[in-house]
């Protein structure tokens, strides 16, 4: 009897730990995505000012690294809580990973444009990058709740 109660308590504690872990990964990815928003603003400031695009390579590299690791920030079980992640991320995992792979490819194009120092090419690649963010947000990010 006592063993059963203890086992039940242990399982309940494990369940709580799982929820806590999901909240951690949600906070981590939201924080990272806010950082991506800041990187985009910083890049736009340079293209708007028609500044030197070459130092932007470092920012784009940071973004590439983040998106390469993005799928891991959406483990199964992290779709509830303080999150706008839609269930489609898990029901259509292949589609989600494909739009993310497109994001990385687009960032590589932005990186090449920035490295060339060509402001017009960097601006065009930047606009395309912003559009690519939307190709994931539309199907996989819901309204704030």
Select 47 or 83, whichever has its Cβ closest to ligand HEC: 83
**List of residues 6+ apart from 92 with CB closer than 8 A:** 139
Taking CB under 6 A as the criterion, the residue among 19, 44, 90, 137 binding ligand HEC is 137
40 binds ligand HEC (CB under 6 A): yes
Give the residue among 40, 97, 102, 39 at the shortest CA–CA distance from 72. Answer: 97
Rg of the chain in Å (alpha carbons):
20
Residues 70, 100 contacting (CB under 8 angstroms): yes
Evaluate whether 2 touches 92 at the Cβ level (below 8 Å): no
Q: Is 44 in the site for ligand HEC (CB under 6 A)?
A: no
Neighbouring CB atoms inside 10 A of 110's CB total 27
Total residues binding ligand HEC (CB under 6 A): 22
Site for ligand HEC in 54-113 (CB under 6 A): 70, 83-85, 96, 99-100, 103
CB–CB of 109/130 below 8 Å?
no
Q: Which is nearer to ligand HEC, 14 or 27 (CB)?
A: 27
Residue 36 in the binding site for ligand HEC (CB under 6 A): yes
Stretch that binds ligand HEC, among 12-20, 22-30, 52-60, 119-127 (CB under 6 A): 22-30
Name the site residues for ligand HEC (rule: CB under 6 A).
26, 29-30, 33-34, 36-37, 40, 70, 83-85, 96, 99-100, 103, 129, 133, 136-137, 140-141
């Amino acid at each position: 009897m006592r063993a059963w109660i203890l086992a039940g308590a242990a399982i309940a504690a494990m369940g709580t730990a799982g929820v806590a872990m999901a909240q951690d990964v949600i906070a981590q990815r939201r924080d990272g995505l806010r950082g991506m928003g800041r990187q985009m603003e910083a890049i736009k400031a340079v293209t708007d000012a028609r500044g030197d695009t070459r130092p932007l390579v470092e920012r784009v590299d940071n973004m590439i690294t983040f998106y390469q690791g993005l799928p891991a920030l959406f483990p199964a079980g992290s779709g509830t809580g303080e999150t706008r992640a839609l269930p489609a991320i898990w029901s259509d995992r292949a589609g989600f990973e494909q739009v993310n792979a497109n994001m990385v490819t687009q960032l590589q194009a932005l990186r090449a444009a920035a490295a060339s120092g060509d402001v017009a090419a960097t601006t065009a690649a930047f606009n395309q990058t912003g559009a690519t963010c939307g190709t994931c947000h539309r199907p996989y990010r819901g309204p704030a709740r």
